[in-house]
Amino acid sequence: MSHSTKLTQLTENIERVIRGKGKEVKYVITALVARGHILIEDNPGAGKTVLAKTLAQSISEAPGEPHQPHGGVMFKRIQFTPDLLPMDLIGSYIFDEGKKDFVFKKGPLFTHVLLADEINRASPKVQSALLECMAENQISSGDTTFQLDKFFFTIATQNPIEMEGTYPLPAAQLDRFYMKISFGYVSEEVEFDIYSNYLEIGNSKQTVKQVLQYKDIIELQEEAEKVYIHPELVKGMVRLVQSTRNHPEIALGCSTRGGITFIKCVKAWALVNQRDYVIEDDISALAHPVLHHRLIFRNREASRTVLKQLTDQEVNKLAKLGIASKK
């Protein structure tokens, strides 16, 4: 089975459950293929939890792993609350009467697909514990370091910061997320379809097919790294990142780490869209989800308009060069 076929099957399988959100589903798969993590900011009931479960159910379990009740790779959900502690995520040492010694009981972070629900309701200490695992792909407890699986993908959700009882994620922690997106509400036509077929929608979560194997995801991640990107496109992305640091309406621009993440994501996006090379439209499609949450704007109007203006200017320059697919 070709890489494009695998990605098409995964996308269509998820869209059987998550209706009317094709672009958002592609963003999530892109973050997975880029070996990153994604943050979804939205109101409750938008389908974020169902999306994470469906993704995990679509991929068969890893070799040697116990069979999961829902089928698919390991999936864990953590509901973040103000009283949550880091050990509730990481795990802790408990005394084993049989062994007469302390043994480490793994926490929910030891999984493949993690749904970190309402991450901005937990304290900064707990947020930091999760984001450290995302950045290092390992967990430290005492003097021992545990390596997480190479397929460790976090879908974090947060409520809009205007809601009560939230702890906004600092810019340095937001930078760890490859992308930040919002689902929003579906169109009237799609919502009518959901209401009309709600029994089918409810049952569809139990009938999700496993369309890919664990090893397929690892292979797709490796294949994304091989996607070709022309040096002129890289230069254009560098200029775009630099422009965010020099614009008068942006107080904090994109970091170098953010720029590297941008390159990883556009290559993965190209693969998800069945290409082995990057085009300028990929830069345009991913500039907002990859860069916007890394920037601090001086006012709301700038937040709505400035990044799009900078992106359009750079993409238009690149389009005139006509070098997107030249190898």
What are the chain's domains? Answer: 3-219 (3.40.50.300), 226-321 (1.10.8.80)
Please give the share of the chain, as a percent, with pLDDT higher than 90. 43
Which tokens sit at 119? 């991450």
Residues 211-266 have pLDDT tens digits of: 898 899 999 999 999 999 999 999 999 999 999 999 999 999 999 999 999 999 99
Nearest to 276 by CA among 220, 221, 219, 226: 226
Cα 320 from Cα 325, distance rounded (Å): 13
Is 181's pLDDT higher than 90? yes
Cα 91 from Cα 104, distance rounded (Å): 7
Cα 311 from Cα 280, distance rounded (Å): 10
Cα 108 from Cα 85, distance rounded (Å): 13
Confidence band of 17 (pLDDT split at 50, 70, 90):
confident
Cα 118 from Cα 81, distance rounded (Å): 8
> Stretch 175-187: mean pLDDT, rounded?
87
Name 283's Cβ contacts closer than 8 Å, sequence gap at least 6. Answer: 233, 236, 237, 240, 266, 311, 314, 315, 318
